[in-house]
Structure 1
């Protein structure tokens, strides 16, 4: 039998798996019968599982969505931060699409051009800014498309019409498919820089135009000394081109003998930043060297760093030639001056030597009571005449000392009133002889000065002697003192003599002048006294002035000196008691026969034992044959000089020595002392001077003496 199957009821459901695929399920039951509980339960379970899975999938999608939202928010925040940072830039940062429409406009763009972001976005960039290109726009875009990045300079105009020069950097951006999408422009305003560069160019052009027309050769280097510019005069003088001498090529035009020291000095300036200066020979286009004074100064920036050096070369060839000529002339003048000094010294010696025996005899006989009174007066007159001539010789030597700056003083606190009174005693005899009235009014309360007594007395004597010379018989000379406002002492010598003209007054202190008075030579003298006095006073730090109302109206000479307290004045030394004269064994060495004879006669009359010699040879023989207490020697001897003689005598055995010489300069005195003489007497020698030295030696009190 054929069996028929019962109909079946089918229940179908579908659930979604984790991979988003649908999965159908079925529950079967016989047709016509109700589904069994098991089948329904299975179906429900499948439905529940499917729902749970869908909920899980939904949660996952929700988390993914939240993550995407967070990511996009972070991107948005990043973009906002980048936009904020871009707004901090002083440069204009602009983004435009390929259609040239602005899609981004930062704060820097607003500051440069004046439009806000809202006003600029959506506008045509070049229409808005009226861009001026150096090349056609299409060429620039084509180049940007080829190279993707590009830099260049353009001109655009701000909202207020201001012309803006810009240095731009363009970058082309592409979309996901690689098609051009936008152009990023970063623009730096260089308007001020361009203006500064233009001003600098104009300044350099003016500088170079000026530098090319100055008489110096000029050049400029960088901080390391590399020369990059010369003016046209430099190139024309050297006959070179900039290419030949750029950098360190200038070395070849400096004389080879001078190049090493020049390079050392130049490199030292480069190291220290200090200015350069040197004198050097430069080779000219004509093949000849000329001398140039080369100088260079550093050019620094605001921070003080050396950026460049600017140098010049000044032709000093003629100046050097003039200087060389002047140096030669100076040497010749100095040689002439030395020859003059030597001549004066020799003349002094030759004039003094024959005066010595005359002065000695006149002095000795004038003091001899056995000589008749009338004869003694004549001998005294002779003595004064010899001493006056010696004073004239001394004036010549003093003038030489002054001209050479060698007039020395030995200042001590000195009573000026005492010096005036002492000088008055000397001057009165001449004044009375001429029947001139001498008046002394010493009213200064402070009358002590720091001075060399001998030199200051010389000044006072010169002033009084000058007044006596130019005051006629019956006139009056008034010597007065007073204190000025500062407490200094002023010594005035006023006369009623012939006066001084206004034209001559400024020249009275010049040597060899006597006021430019007609017939001046009848007054005698060399016109040296005032010149020497003026110099002595200046050395003391004082002043000597002359005043006169004119010819025939007399003159006044005023000496001003600072003062010191009277307590500082030197206390006069006590006068030593007379010491019995000791008989000495004397060796007299003198080649001038008359002087030798007079010396021997006068000293023998004083009780001394005298041996004479006319040469060094004779002196050495005599010294070897006897023992002497003292040697008196001339310095100029036929077979040598007294200095060599004294050195030899001191070598044989020590003996005191007195030098006699017509030479009396400081160097002469120094040499005689160095040779071993304890005293140096300048001819003509007064016998009393020599006697005082001998008496001092006899008493055991020898000291170094001069003059």
Structure 2
């Protein structure tokens, strides 16, 4: 009786037979062994079918991954290529073909240098040689000459794009030829933006460096970031010397003016505030003193962040000296004129006491007296305005009958109104009393009325003066036909601002606003009505209780 065979041997016999396609020798097997062998064949066949299914699925996954990677490679936003040591393109992706405007089928086999502008070919050859010597990643920037035969470039001799090249040399085996793997990234937009930015910076630098004035830029902490070359002809210090100063600009500032200027600049940095026409003295490197007018403006970035102060300085030495001379002359004239006019006034009073004057002589004497009073008023007002500008004027308020002041102004300018064939209408509250200075109010209203009459577009027109009480204030309006030119409305009350008026000084509205402010009031321009101009004066109402002298502190026109 034959013994049963080992099950492991039967399983191996079944696998060998199935693998090599040979019939198994079963002559020595028992029927039971044969039955077991058939079973093992079935098990192995099932295992093979399962393995085959796994392999089929794996192959599908690999093919899908290959296709996905091929798509990523071809459609990548970067051009890829494999170069041999001579720089010939062995393989490349579709993106490189799009970048060079040349089909991939034509690119493969061509030298990449053929698509690089001549000026950059040496750079590329050095880059390729260095890459081939090691496995380090090398980078360079080149300009590519695109296919000149492409329809988009017809007649243009080829189109240029800027690219960054990143390369690495890899060798799979010792026997394999070295290959250079290259990524070519289009950086045209960046290069063009940088080029335009450099041009813009150069333009602005030329403008800044060649401005007449001395310009500086301080950071938010007050440290110097930039100063233009105009500092040298003005102060004697070079740009390099200024940049090396740890305490710029104080070595350039007169010792007596440093503290006040430091306070101003500190306030400008802290509050991010603008200042204009700040007068101070600077000390030249050679030792002489000059007067400077300075302005400062806060500088903000595109995101609104505070970047510091822009400071501009102008030499106003000649203007300062001229203004001082003018003030001295004005003071001398005022003193020399006022004394004889006071004598004239005294003489008029003596003549009025005579009993033998005819009516005609009395009329002439009254005219002389009125002219003399007007001259004294002009002199006194000029001195008052100087005190207001200097901040030394003290208001001693009394009751001002605005209706009477208006009537006097109308009477004073009656000759001008007659010359213009104009009519002045006065309406409103006849009993309106303001708290202020009668002389200032008289001069203020004369200035406004004179401006209104002189601004009438045609003869025979009317200027309207109205008086009212509004919101606890005494309000006087002067309205006339004719609009203020658009170009000066925003600076209507500025000193020396005038437009289209022959012989105009630009001081009428300026001095009127000074006088209004000195009395605790306001003067505003209303140009909302087409073809008309209205000046609105608002003063405190007179109150008999608690009327005491008060210092306005003036309205200084410079710091």
- Asked if the contact 2:145–2:159 (Cα under 8 Å) also holds between the matched residues in 1, the reply is yes
* 2:162 maps to 1:165: yes
Q: Residue 78 of structure 1: which of 63, 68, 71 is its match?
A: 68
Q: Residue 366 of structure 2: which of 386, 391, 405 is its match?
A: 391
* 1:288 shift after superposition: 3.0
Partners in 2 of 1:217 and 1:390 — Cα distance?
Answer: 59
* 1:234 shift after superposition: 1.9
Would the alpha carbon gap of residues 61 and 537 (structure 1) be closer, same or farther in structure 2, given more than 3 Å must change?
A: closer
Secondary structure at 2:102's aligned position in 1?
coil
* 2:52 maps to 1:62: yes
Would the alpha carbon gap of residues 152 and 459 (structure 1) be closer, same or farther in structure 2, given more than 3 Å must change?
A: closer
* 2:125 maps to 1:137: yes
Structure with max Cα Rg: 1
Secondary structure at 1:42's aligned position in 2?
helix
- Asked if the contact 1:225–1:270 (Cα under 8 Å) also holds between the matched residues in 2, the reply is yes
* 2:117 maps to 1:117: no
Secondary structure at 1:148's aligned position in 2?
coil
* 1:317 shift after superposition: 1.4
Partners in 2 of 1:200 and 1:454 — Cα distance?
Answer: 62
What is residue 502 of structure 2 aligned with on the other side?
A: none
- Asked if the contact 1:541–1:561 (Cα under 8 Å) also holds between the matched residues in 2, the reply is no
Partners in 2 of 1:261 and 1:20 — Cα distance?
Answer: 105
Partners in 2 of 1:459 and 1:22 — Cα distance?
Answer: 135
- Asked if the contact 2:423–2:462 (Cα under 8 Å) also holds between the matched residues in 1, the reply is no
What is residue 322 of structure 1 aligned with on the other side?
A: 322
Secondary structure at 1:115's aligned position in 2?
coil
Paired residues for 1:79-98 under 5 Å: 79-80=69-70, 82-83=72-73, 86=76, 89=77, 92-98=78-84
Partners in 2 of 1:196 and 1:47 — Cα distance?
Answer: 80
* 2:35 maps to 1:45: yes
Partners in 2 of 1:259 and 1:84 — Cα distance?
Answer: 69
Would the alpha carbon gap of residues 391 and 296 (structure 1) be closer, same or farther in structure 2, given more than 3 Å must change?
A: closer
Would the alpha carbon gap of residues 18 and 230 (structure 1) be closer, same or farther in structure 2, given more than 3 Å must change?
A: farther
- Asked if the contact 1:93–1:185 (Cα under 8 Å) also holds between the matched residues in 2, the reply is yes
- Asked if the contact 1:17–1:53 (Cα under 8 Å) also holds between the matched residues in 2, the reply is no
* 1:162 shift after superposition: 2.3
Q: How far does the alpha carbon of each residue in 1:309-347 deviate from its partner, in whole angstroms, 9 at most, with x for none?
A: 765432111211111222222233334454455434444
Q: How far does the alpha carbon of each residue in 1:185-216 deviate from its partner, in whole angstroms, 9 at most, with x for none?
A: 132333x6555655665666566566655543
- Asked if the contact 1:150–1:171 (Cα under 8 Å) also holds between the matched residues in 2, the reply is yes
* 1:267 shift after superposition: 5.8
Partners in 2 of 1:12 and 1:387 — Cα distance?
Answer: 162
Would the alpha carbon gap of residues 17 and 401 (structure 1) be closer, same or farther in structure 2, given more than 3 Å must change?
A: farther
* 1:74 shift after superposition: 3.9
- Asked if the contact 2:127–2:139 (Cα under 8 Å) also holds between the matched residues in 1, the reply is no
Paired residues for 1:293-304 under 5 Å: 293-295=293-295
Q: Residue 185 of structure 1: which of 183, 186, 189 is its match?
A: 183
Partners in 1 of 2:320 and 2:32 — Cα distance?
Answer: 129
Q: How far does the alpha carbon of each residue in 1:520-570 deviate from its partner, in whole angstroms, 9 at most, with x for none?
A: xxxxxxxxxxxxxxx899679779xxxxxxxxxxxxxx9997799xxxxxx
Secondary structure at 1:322's aligned position in 2?
helix
* 1:51 shift after superposition: 0.5
Secondary structure at 2:141's aligned position in 1?
strand
Would the alpha carbon gap of residues 397 and 182 (structure 1) be closer, same or farther in structure 2, given more than 3 Å must change?
A: same
Partners in 2 of 1:130 and 1:195 — Cα distance?
Answer: 17
Q: Residue 155 of structure 1: which of 143, 150, 155 is its match?
A: 143
Would the alpha carbon gap of residues 225 and 17 (structure 1) be closer, same or farther in structure 2, given more than 3 Å must change?
A: farther
* 1:286 shift after superposition: 0.5
Figure out how many residues of one structure are paired with residues of the other and give that number: 400
Partners in 1 of 2:451 and 2:252 — Cα distance?
Answer: 56
- Asked if the contact 1:102–1:125 (Cα under 8 Å) also holds between the matched residues in 2, the reply is no
Partners in 1 of 2:260 and 2:98 — Cα distance?
Answer: 58
Partners in 1 of 2:200 and 2:61 — Cα distance?
Answer: 59
The unaligned stretches of length 5 or more in structure 1 are 1-5, 30-38, 360-380, 413-449, 464-480, 489-534, 544-557, 565-707
Partners in 2 of 1:404 and 1:171 — Cα distance?
Answer: 90
Secondary structure at 1:246's aligned position in 2?
helix
Paired residues for 1:296-695 under 5 Å: 312-352=312-352, 355=353, 359=355, 384=359, 387-388=362-363, 391-392=366-367, 394-400=369-375, 403=378, 452=407
- Asked if the contact 1:12–1:27 (Cα under 8 Å) also holds between the matched residues in 2, the reply is no
The unaligned stretches of length 5 or more in structure 2 are 149-157, 382-399, 426-445, 466-559
Would the alpha carbon gap of residues 219 and 394 (structure 1) be closer, same or farther in structure 2, given more than 3 Å must change?
A: closer
Would the alpha carbon gap of residues 79 and 197 (structure 1) be closer, same or farther in structure 2, given more than 3 Å must change?
A: closer
* 2:289 maps to 1:289: yes
- Asked if the contact 1:258–1:281 (Cα under 8 Å) also holds between the matched residues in 2, the reply is yes
What is residue 214 of structure 2 aligned with on the other side?
A: 217
Would the alpha carbon gap of residues 199 and 139 (structure 1) be closer, same or farther in structure 2, given more than 3 Å must change?
A: closer
- Asked if the contact 2:138–2:166 (Cα under 8 Å) also holds between the matched residues in 1, the reply is yes
Secondary structure at 2:285's aligned position in 1?
coil
TM-score, reference length from structure 2: 0.54
Partners in 2 of 1:259 and 1:229 — Cα distance?
Answer: 21
* 1:60 shift after superposition: 3.5
Partners in 2 of 1:459 and 1:130 — Cα distance?
Answer: 83
* 1:261 shift after superposition: 4.7
Partners in 1 of 2:225 and 2:408 — Cα distance?
Answer: 71
Would the alpha carbon gap of residues 307 and 114 (structure 1) be closer, same or farther in structure 2, given more than 3 Å must change?
A: farther
* 1:58 shift after superposition: 0.5
TM-score, reference length from structure 1: 0.44
Would the alpha carbon gap of residues 246 and 270 (structure 1) be closer, same or farther in structure 2, given more than 3 Å must change?
A: same
* 1:159 shift after superposition: 0.9
* 1:44 shift after superposition: 1.5
Paired residues for 1:93-104 under 5 Å: 93-99=79-85, 100=87, 101-104=89-92
Would the alpha carbon gap of residues 390 and 124 (structure 1) be closer, same or farther in structure 2, given more than 3 Å must change?
A: closer
- Asked if the contact 1:276–1:297 (Cα under 8 Å) also holds between the matched residues in 2, the reply is yes
Q: How far does the alpha carbon of each residue in 1:429-470 deviate from its partner, in whole angstroms, 9 at most, with x for none?
A: xxxxxxxxxxxxxxxxxxxxx9849986x999x99xxxxxxx
Tell me which of the two structures has the higher relative contact order, counting C-alpha pairs closer than 8 angstroms and 6 or more residues apart. 2
- Asked if the contact 1:18–1:57 (Cα under 8 Å) also holds between the matched residues in 2, the reply is no
- Asked if the contact 1:299–1:308 (Cα under 8 Å) also holds between the matched residues in 2, the reply is yes
